[in-house]
Amino acid sequence: MIGRLNHVAIAVPDLAAAAAQYRDTLGAIVRDPQDEPDHGVTVVFIELPNTKIELLYPLGDASPIKGFLEKNPAGGIHHICYEVDDIIAARDRLKAAGARVLGSGEPKIGAHGKPVLFLHPKDFNGCLVELEQV
């Protein structure tokens, strides 16, 4: 059901410094920041040959990343994102297997302009999982 790894998301306390580290120290291609108000984050994508890194920074006081950074002030891996061909079919299959879909259970449009869903970390070995329809 899942396809390739789309990205690994890392919450960071300083978005500009983290982006500069990937660009200047690691020599990666770093995209411009983009606000995602529906998700409460500002994101910067780091392009790698085989996947992407998504740097996450809180956008507003209600941001889920704000709470994550309060618990993890240095930042850290927040979630992993897998691609799926049909997000509704994937959701229905996962729910039938007992997995919990976060939020309303309906896909939202993610940072790539494609439908996304998040799965409860307690159902996936402590890892928050994002699914993105390709």
pLDDT tens for 6-49 read 999 999 999 999 999 999 999 999 999 999 999 999 999 999 99
pLDDT of residue 18: 98
Domain carrying residue 74: 5-133
- pTM here? 0.94
pLDDT of residue 117: 97
What average pLDDT does range 49-58 have in this prediction? 97
130 included as an active-site residue: yes
Q: Give the number of other CB atoms < 10 A from CB of residue 123.
A: 15
Total domains in the fold of the chain: 1
Q: Where are the alpha helices (DSSP H) in 6-76?
A: 15-20, 64-71
pLDDT of residue 125: 96
* Contact (Cβ atoms closer than 8 angstroms) between residue 78 and residue 7: no
pLDDT of residue 63: 95
Catalytic residue among 54, 83, 130, 132: 130
Give CA–CA dist 87/100, Å, rounded: 14
pLDDT of residue 43: 98
In sequence order, the β-bridge partners of residue 77 are 10
The CATH number linked to 36 is 3.10.180.10
pLDDT in tens, 76-115: 999 999 999 999 999 999 999 999 999 999 999 999 999 9
